[in-house]
Amino acid sequence: MTTEISDDALRAEVRAWLKANYRPEELRGATLWSSTPETRAWLTKVLEAGWATPRWPAEWWGRSLPEHQARIVEREFAAVKAPGAGQDRGNLYANTAMAYGNDALKAHFVRGILTGEINMCLLYSEPGAGSDLAGIRTRAELKGDNYIVNGQKVWTSGAMTADYGMLIARTDWDAPKHGGISFFFLPMKQPGVEVRPLRQVTDESHFNEVFITDAVCPVDNRLGAEGAGWRVLQTALAYERSVMGDGARGPRNASAKVSLIDLARDAGKLNDPVLRQDLARVIAYRRLNDLNNARAKADLKEGTSSPIMSLGKLAMSRILHEEARLRTSMLGAASLLEGKDFPVSDDANFLSLNAYFTSIGGGTDQIQRNIIGERVLGLPKEPEVDRDVPFREVRAG
């Protein structure tokens, strides 16, 4: 039974809880792709207080708050830069499990995902199936109580540290390509899974290729019915695009967190009318994108996907490229410098290169334009000559 609370009382409760519990200095060891024991302890506190999943019911660590009150919780956490709140809106792994997992799977995985005890990755793209994910050829064959998985995945973020991967694999080669796919939580820490890092243009190795040879995945780790994985994937992709549409990685040099306006002022170019117009356009894009994402997430329900998310993801890609262009233009020749002795220039380079991550990850800009054209604007679909053909008969290059 849920006890109603006023907005002001809720705001006061969250602020008091944060004041009593949040110690930002304890979380400085957290990284983008893994977490420290201190981070996991903090996320556990947030979960047990009901702030991690405020929209969910109490049996799933929530408070059954309506959307506008859940946003109050998130804003109070954001105001003090405390992580962990609102994961019922942004944690794609937990939300996908909640939407399609049975109670046993949810009980086994969701808490650990929310607290960082269980690290996850995405096993979607393949060397021959990137833009067309329905063309995957990784296979999962049922043998007793397990599936035996063989295949290759690529561009997998965080695979080196992941405990489980959200895997799409083909379980029926006689069904059309969208109908023969199933969705799993594949255990990553087993002999049949080999992870090889890929060097990125930013000189990082967050992406990996994953080779899967006779890996074992329990039947209980399947989400949704066998052959119904494409629907599960659409929900997972919607949450992923939602996260990417919200924002992207910022500067990697703590000393270089300079806004575009501050950078223009430091460069003596703030009075340039053309530059001011470009700055205003980027700021307007960000604000419009925030509003669009809020609208899309309000419509997103468990077990569904929203093509509106593609608008936010595509918009964020454009924003990042525009901001990178402006940084480079304002720095001029200094934008060619790099290294810790030139943090502002180094980050201009980094942000310019990293913008392509958002252009490609989670579905390319071109894929998002197709989705927007077909599902938002109602334009005719592109012809798919192999859509209703048994997958074993589909030609492959």
Cα separation values, 156 from 152, 153, 161, 169, 226, Å: 11, 7, 11, 15, 24
Give 105's contacts (C-beta < 8 A, 6+ positions apart).
Answer: 97, 185, 220, 221, 223
- 240 is annotated as an active-site residue: yes
Phi, psi angles (nearest 5°) of residue 7: -60, -45
Tokens 């708050």, located at residue: 65
Tokens of 63: 């408070």
The overall longest dimension of the chain from CA atoms, in Å, is 71
Distance CA 143, CA 245 (A): 40
Tokens of 160: 């080196």
Beta-carbon count within 10 A of 321 CB: 17
Question: Per the residue annotation, which of 126, 240, 322, 323 is the catalytic one?
Answer: 240
β-bridge pairing 146-154 and 208-218: antiparallel
Tokens 């944060």, located at residue: 18
Distance CA 156, CA 391 (A): 25
Tokens 């919200």, located at residue: 246
Distance CA 129, CA 292 (A): 30
Distance CA 87, CA 77 (A): 12
Helix (H), strand (E), coil (C) string for 166-188: EEEEECCCCCECCCCEEEEEEEC
- Which residues are registered as beta bridge partners of 152? 211
* Cβ pair 252, 353 in contact under 8 A: no
> Which residues are catalytically annotated?
240
